[in-house]
Amino acid sequence: MTSPEVLLRVDRLVKHFPITRGILIQRQIGAVHAVDDVSFVIYKGETLGLVGESGCGKSTTGRTILQLYRPTSGSVFFEGRDLAKLSGEELRKTRRRMQMIFQDPYASLNPRMTVGEIIGEPMLIHNTYSGKARQERVEYLLKMVGLSPAFANRYPHEFSGGQRQRIGVARALALEPSLIVCDEPISALDVSIQAQVVNLLEDLQRELGLTYLFIAHDLSMVRHISNRVAVMYLGIIAELADRLELYENPLHPYTQALLSAVPIPDPIAEEKRQRIILQGDVPSPVNPPSGCRFRTRCPIAQAICAEVKPEFREVKPHHWVACHMV
């Protein structure tokens, strides 16, 4: 991608969830450091994969970008505006340009609304299409995601998981957004359906020029769909690089361990695969380790790792790592 245009710039984003105690008077006794000082950019038209194990803050990052959670500090620049500073009506209007596809297709559709109402609701709220035009657009969107327009009057519980996820995609497309945050859109689906939905997302990206933030924990799926990949660990980004660079030449010890866990669909190569097994568990995000977050489990940790927080720096062109040892 040469001289790409930046669509979204996340700058030192922090999201802490307070932990309180007390019945009437609540005192804050700590905080879950879900996202801690994360910065990255997303270029127009690309897919940025965001991977990491569960609880590392991937979803929180996505939701904080969309302002479903308000950030504790930091900024999110989207199409020239700092979303973190918007509120109320202004924010509601800006939501048109960025949408989300959810993980659980069974929980993300209101069971009391018809498919047509679900897909038409964004257009109703933002008054972009009304009456007959809206109905036609609902049918158009259904066709676009590979469903029959005749489904508009049916209810979500009459559909399978894959079909429901397509309905969720159609809803996200209704407002013609430029950015779509896909929060593990395929992890709740059968493997056979996963490929269909991913292909649909790719086709739509090509046709509509969409930009995706693709959150997942399936490394091979992320490799397939992403242009660049960011690896998260315990609320920070450990490494961010172009897809091939990251998979072929991982620099951060966490990325190396993560990639070594991916099985290879070739029995001979699989025989020789060396797994890097990390010791211990992920530390609690309530009380994260000092210095480098990964040092407690890092096979190459040194004294400096406990003292100084490693800077997230560009060690090679387009290859960013947060590690002292690189």
Partner 1 sequence: MTAQLKLDAKASAAGGQPLTQKGESLWKDALRRLIRNRAAVIGGIMILILYFFAIFAGVLAPYSYEKQTLTDQNKVPQWLINVFPTMKPYAQVSENYLMGADYVGRDLFSRIVYGARVSLTVALIGPFISLLIGVTYGSISGFFGGRVDNIMMRLVDVLYAFPSLLFIILLMAFFRSTFSKPDPGTFSYALSQADARLGGMLFIFIGIGLTAWETMARLTRGQVLSVREKEFIEAARTIGATNWRIMFRHILPNIVGPLVVAETLAIPGYISTEAFLSFIGLGVNPPTPSWGAMISDGAQVVRTYPNQTLFPALALAITMFAFNFLGDGLRDALDPRLRGTQ
Among the listed ranges 1-9, 36-44, 153-161, 283-291, the one in contact with partner 1 (CB under 8 A) is 153-161
Q: How far is CA 214 from CA 12, 14, 105, 178, 277, in A?
A: 20, 20, 16, 14, 26
Smaller CB separation from partner 1, 81 or 309:
81
Retrieve residue 36's tokens.
Answer: 């801690």
Q: Which of 2, 3, 80, 150 binds partner 1 (CB under 8 A)?
A: 150
- Measured from the CB of residue 120, what is the shortest distance to partner 1 in angstroms? 10
Near partner 1 by CB under 8 A: residue from 40, 78, 129, 151: 151
- 26 or 284: whose CB is closer to partner 1? 26
Contact pattern for partner 1 over residues 162 through 191, marking x by CB under 8 A: -x----x--x--xx----------------
Print the binding letters for residues 80-109 with partner 1: x by CB under 8 A, - otherwise: ------------xx-xx-xxx-xxx--xxx
Considering the rule CB under 8 A, would residue 59 count as an interface residue with partner 1? no
Q: 13 vs 28, 33, 82, 110, 315, CA distance in Å?
A: 21, 11, 12, 31, 22
Instruction: Decide whether 50 or 167 has the Cβ nearer to partner 1.
Output: 167
127 sits in the region (left: phi over 0; alpha: psi -120 to 50; else beta) called left
CA distance 100 to 168: 9
Cα 247 to chain centroid distance, Å, stands at 19
> Cβ closer to partner 1: 149 or 289?
149
Among the listed residues 52, 57, 122, 250, the single contact to partner 1 using CB under 8 A: 122
Is there binding between residue 161 and partner 1 (CB under 8 A)?
no
Specify the length of the chain in residues: 326
| Least distance in angstroms from the C-beta of 273 to partner 1 | 36
> Which residues bind to partner 1, rule: CB under 8 A?
23-24, 26, 63, 66, 68, 92-93, 95-96, 98-100, 102-104, 107-115, 121-122, 125-126, 146-155, 157-158, 160, 163, 168, 171, 174-175, 196
